[in-house]
Amino acid sequence: MVLFFLLGSLMAVAGASGVVVARKPVHGVIGMILNFLGLALLYVSLQAEFLAVVQIIVYAGAVMVLFLFVVALLTAHAKPPAMGPSPLRGQGWRAGLVAVLLLTALLPVGVVVPGRAEPWEGDFGGVVRFGQELLTTHLLAFEALALVLMVAVIGVVILVGRPPQRRRGARGEGGS
Amino acid sequence: MAVTGMNFTLLLPELILVATGILLVLLDLFTEQKRVLVYAGLAGVLASLLALIPGFGTTASIWADMIQVDSLAGFFKIVFLAVTALALLVSLEYVERRQIQAGEFYALLIFATVGMFLMASSLNLLVIYLGLELVAIASYALVGLLKQDGRSVEASIKYLLVSSATSAVFLFGISLVYGTTGSLALPQIAQALAAGAASQPVLFAGMLFLLAGLAFKVAAFPFHMWAPDTYEGSPTPISAFLITGAEAAGFAALLRVFLVGLPGLADAWTTIFAALSVLTMTYGNVTAISQTKIKRLMAYSAIAQAGYVLVGLAVATGQGTAAMLYYLLVYAFMTVGAFAVIILVANSGAGEEISDFRGLSQRSPFFAWALVIYFLSLIGIPPTAGFFGKLNLFSAAIAADMTWLAVVMVINSVISAPYYFKVIRTMFLEEAAEAEPVRAPASLTWATAITLVVTILLGLVPDQVYSWVRLVAGAL
């Protein structure tokens, strides 16, 4: 299990850094797939098998295909931006200092505190239990999440879409 | 297996708002008269306000303990609905002039209000987070709606980047707290703390992450850097909405998380909040002095005011909470009012520089005097509502043996006076470039009149409102 955890977290962190570092959108998408697979491994190590499968099918599968479509349609011919982000003066060592401080604060915590050793019993992480939790205890949160997604869709449409009366050839600048 | 406590009556205010939002998007397709949308939105807000009545005075935990209906939630919902109604009113003219897509604009405003409702009326970290995210996602779009204006797009992207990073911080905090206490429900977390989980360093780290995540949302000092740019670039009604509504929602979540969930760590977080409070108010006020743009001035003033409100969390008493609530109520009205005047000046063709307010006293005496009263209230000069707001915070700090904090507050109020007076001086003592009177649309006049009456009324009869607020704070 520790091995699973190490492998999964390494994959997730590597994938996430890949997304940040990549200059080409396609590379970013590949980094993200790695990240999703790493997360799926972590879910398996936490005995959430159903969640792991869903993570792979829905995210690494369906959502990533969508991402690839968007990347292919919008940026296939676009060159990566010539200018990278301009770092602030002293940004590097300050961020490094904070990160080191945070890690030294958190690392002993992770080592000292014993984790949960014994595995969960019963159908924890199975489809039945998962579905029951989702549609009973967490029903309201589930519905609220649906609302959050709908609002996100409205927001994207309004930011990227053009008002009908001013249809021009140029692409909207809100393509995020 | 059924959901325990499936109570639709007590959830009705939220449901009505969601329905109103969806209705606005649909209605937009069928009407060219965009004013209808504002009236429909106002009707929805009013209906939601009426729907609060059945839940008044009751305390209930519904929907499998995901939603908490109590007087604190009721108080904040009234504040949010008032802010939303006023934001709808001041948007009316603005949206027409700037050719913003009206249906989505008003709908997102309503949806953001639903998010604030969730933040204020849940004792479950998961739902609080979802509410926070609902407010944030609706705000990203609202802030960036002036697509031709580079500043608006910049504001939106900055807000998106900073806010999603801080959401991650908040989530990390939730996961650490969940990991140590085994629950997302704040009362259970408090029980685990009382049972001895408090000594665990993981929980302490989790508390710090939760604190940092929420401090970003209320723009407290080291976490404020997104605020001035976002508030300056976004459409002015949205600046008003975010500064008052979203900030109040952030404070509601802070109150719930720290007073209900983590009282066992109070020794640590009161010290942190006291430090944040001093830094925030001093930074906000000192930086505001040198601003030449009115919206940036209001943004830094908002940071300073957040510092005052944090005093209530630093003292962590019932009196402190009551003072916070009172101040948030007062602050919502006086700030939206001030923004109504800013919108009026911007609509009249002048820009958003402080110098554009020259001679407003001749061009539109009513609005000029209204702005004077809002500013006097923001400084905290009697007999305005802001004075009693500050007085309550002040006495709460003294009662909790934190006189030094009260002294810092007074010093800060003095520092804040010059920049407000600079605007007043510009309005009254400098001649306008053009002397013709400003045409004021009815919607702005109404918004200004309502906020003005409330600001003065809360200053003249503060006791009744304050005793109600005491009751609300006692129920936390």
- Nearest by CB to residue B141, choosing from A145, A159, A172, is A159
Please judge whether A163 and B145 are an interchain contact, meaning their C-beta atoms are less than 8 angstroms apart.
Answer: no
Q: Is B1 near chain A, with CB under 8 Å?
A: yes
Nearest-neighbour CA in chain B from A144: distance (Å): 7
Per-residue confidence band for A166, with pLDDT thresholds at 50, 70 and 90 = very low
What is the model's pLDDT at position B49? 94
What is the model's pLDDT at position B300? 94
CA dist., res. B136 & res. B142, Å (int)? 10
Q: Could you give the C-alpha distances from B155 to A149, B149, B233, in angstroms and in order? A: 22, 10, 5
Nearest chain A Cα to B197, which residue? A113
Residue B69's DSSP bridge partners are: B60
Looking at per-residue pLDDT, the higher value among B425 and B462 belongs to B425
Q: Across residues B459-466, what is the average pLDDT?
A: 86
Q: Which residues contact A160 (CB under 8 A, 6 or more apart)?
A: A172, A174, A175, A176
Nearest-neighbour CA in chain A from B202: distance (Å): 6
The answer to whether the beta carbons of residues B245 and B331 sit under 8 Å apart is no
> Is pLDDT at A64 greater than 60 in this prediction?
yes
Residue whose token pair is 């400003």: B438
What is the model's pLDDT at position A104? 83
Q: Is B302 near chain A, with CB under 8 Å?
A: no
CA dist., res. B125 & res. B118, Å (int)? 11
What tokens were used for B253?
A: 């979540």
What is the model's pLDDT at position B4? 74
Interface pTM (ipTM) of the complex? 0.90
What is the model's pLDDT at position A173? 40
Per-residue confidence band for A113, with pLDDT thresholds at 50, 70 and 90 = low
Residues of B in contact with A145 (CB under 8 A): 130
Please judge whether B130 and A173 are an interchain contact, meaning their C-beta atoms are less than 8 angstroms apart.
Answer: no
Q: Across residues A50-58, what is the average pLDDT?
A: 90
> Is pLDDT at A126 greater than 90 in this prediction?
no
> Is pLDDT at A51 greater than 80 in this prediction?
yes
Q: What is the DSSP letter of A165?
A: G
Question: Can you give the C-alpha Rg of chain B in angstroms?
Answer: 21
What is the model's pLDDT at position A174? 39
Per-residue confidence band for B238, with pLDDT thresholds at 50, 70 and 90 = very high
Looking at per-residue pLDDT, the higher value among B316 and B107 belongs to B107
Q: Is B347 near chain A, with CB under 8 Å?
A: no
Residue type, B326: Y
Q: In this prediction, what percent of chain B has a pLDDT beyond 90?
A: 60
Q: Which residues contact A68 (CB under 8 A, 6 or more apart)?
A: A26, A29
Least confident of B234-243, B244-253, B377-386: B377-386
What is the model's pLDDT at position A117? 59
Q: Residue B377: which H helix or E strand, with range? A: helix B365-379
The answer to whether the beta carbons of residues B463 and B383 sit under 8 Å apart is no
What is the model's pLDDT at position A127? 86
CA dist., res. B402 & res. A93, Å (int)? 37
Q: Which residues contact B251 (CB under 8 A, 6 or more apart)?
A: B218, B309, B324, B328
What tokens were used for B285?
A: 């006020």
Nearest CA-CA partner of A39 in A3, A63, A5, A8: A8
| A116-135 burial: b if 16+ Cβ within 10 Å, else e | eeeeeeeeebeeeebeeeee
Please judge whether B1 and A132 are an interchain contact, meaning their C-beta atoms are less than 8 angstroms apart.
Answer: yes
Q: What is the mean pLDDT of chain B?
A: 90
Q: What is the DSSP letter of B61?
A: E
> Is pLDDT at A176 greater than 50 in this prediction?
no
pLDDT digits 0-9 by tens, B142-165: 999 888 888 899 999 999 999 999
Q: Across residues B440-462, what is the average pLDDT?
A: 90
What is the model's pLDDT at position B23? 94
pLDDT digits 0-9 by tens, B91-107: 998 888 888 888 899 99
What is the model's pLDDT at position B96? 86
Other C-beta atoms lying within 10 Å of the C-beta of residue B259: 22
Residue B206's DSSP bridge partners are: none
Angle between helices B150-181 and B125-143 (to 10 degrees): 170
Q: Is B138 near chain A, with CB under 8 Å?
A: yes
What is the model's pLDDT at position A81? 64
Please judge whether B63 and A139 are an interchain contact, meaning their C-beta atoms are less than 8 angstroms apart.
Answer: yes
CA dist., res. B318 & res. A174, Å (int)? 46
Please judge whether A147 and B114 are an interchain contact, meaning their C-beta atoms are less than 8 angstroms apart.
Answer: yes
- B232, with CB counted inside 10 A (0-12, 13-18, 19+), is buried
Q: In this prediction, what percent of chain A has a pLDDT beyond 70?
A: 76
The answer to whether the beta carbons of residues B230 and B159 sit under 8 Å apart is yes
Q: Across residues A105-133, what is the average pLDDT?
A: 73
Cβ-based interface (< 8 Å): residues of A facing B = 105-106, 108-109, 112-113, 132, 136-141, 144-145, 147-148, 151-152, 154-159, 163, 172-174, 176
Per-residue confidence band for A169, with pLDDT thresholds at 50, 70 and 90 = very low
Q: Read out DSSP for B451-474?
A: HHHHHHHHHHSHHHHHHHHHHHHH
Mutation to test the B interface, candidates A154, A156, A160, A171, most B Cβ within 10 Å: A154
Question: Cα angle at A88 between A85 and A94, to 5 degrees?
Answer: 120
What is the model's pLDDT at position B272? 93
Q: Could you give the C-alpha distances from B465 to B72, B388, B457, B458, B462, in angstroms and in order? A: 14, 11, 10, 7, 6
- Nearest by CB to residue B137, choosing from A109, A136, A151, is A151
What is the model's pLDDT at position A168? 43
The answer to whether the beta carbons of residues A13 and A39 sit under 8 Å apart is no
Give the 3-state secondary structure of residue B62: strand
pLDDT digits 0-9 by tens, B368-406: 999 999 999 999 888 888 899 999 999 999 998 889 999
What is the model's pLDDT at position A78? 66
